[in-house]
Amino acid sequence: MLRSFIAIRIPTEIQTTILRETANLRQVLKKPLIRWVPQENIHLTLKFLGDVSPANLESLAHHLAPELNQLPTFDIRVGGMGAFPNPRRARILWIGMEAPKELAAVAQAVESVASRLGFARETRPFSPHLTIGRVNQHASGNDLQQIRLGLEQTKIGHLGTSTVTGIELFHSDLRPSGAVYTIRHTIPLSH
């Protein structure tokens, strides 16, 4: 079984800019308070699949291709920062993006195909973001206040624009040093 997800890769230049623009925040909010996502792992998740057999992942890619091959490429603008569920009770730190209607169409196609193949439907609305850090589950009230202050003092503007030409199916190996992502399939959008 492969711990898998469907995502859009973010170009290295934008990943590097994210790291540079959040460097001060990373210095203030260190491990173990925040588990920061390594630069190379910053991506836009379309759907987390959980543990999937290689055969089922192959089937999913096969069924996704005709749907996604009909959808046009599009640009995403990356910028802004926030926290889920909110800055006062932060659990996930994220970088935002302007989500064009084409991104919503891709997310809907992924959800539709995956549910037809037996994957559980996502109950929350699609909220495109780039996870950059996860708050320690044992964070105290003082820790959460420190995170909120750090977020308020960190202003993130426009970080870059990227053209999305396809999506990837990844599997994730959880290692003591952190997760290692491997692309299993790339599915292009229409050009």
pLDDT digits (tens, 9 = 90+) for 141-177: 999 999 999 999 999 999 999 999 999 999 999 888 8
Domain residue limits, the chain = 2-188
List the Cα angle 100/102/108 in 5-degree steps: 115
**Residue reference for tokens 């989500």:** 99
Pick the catalytic residue: 129, 138, 158, 191? 129
- CA-wise closest residue to 14 among 175, 158, 149, 174: 158
**Is 185 an annotated catalytic residue?**
no
CA 189 to CA 176: how far, in whole Å? Answer: 35
CA 53 to CA 49: how far, in whole Å? Answer: 11
For 111-124, what is the mean pLDDT? 94
Q: Provide the pLDDT for residue 109.
A: 97
Domain 2-188 is found in CATH 3.40.50.1820: no
Cβ atoms 167, 183 nearer than 8 A: no
Q: Provide the pLDDT for residue 88.
A: 94
**54, pLDDT greater than 90:** yes
Q: How many residues does the chain have?
A: 191
Q: Provide the pLDDT for residue 99.
A: 82
Q: Beta strand pairing status for 178-188 and 130-135?
A: unpaired
Instruction: Give the confidence band of 178 by pLDDT, cuts at 50, 70, 90.
Output: confident
Q: Provide the pLDDT for residue 118.
A: 95
**Is 129 an annotated catalytic residue?**
yes
For 85-89, what is the mean pLDDT? 95
pLDDT digits (tens, 9 = 90+) for 60-70: 999 999 999 99
Cβ atoms 69, 59 nearer than 8 A: no
What is the dihedral angle through the alpha carbons of 99, 102, 106, 112, rounded to the nearest 10 degrees? 100
**16, pLDDT greater than 80:** yes
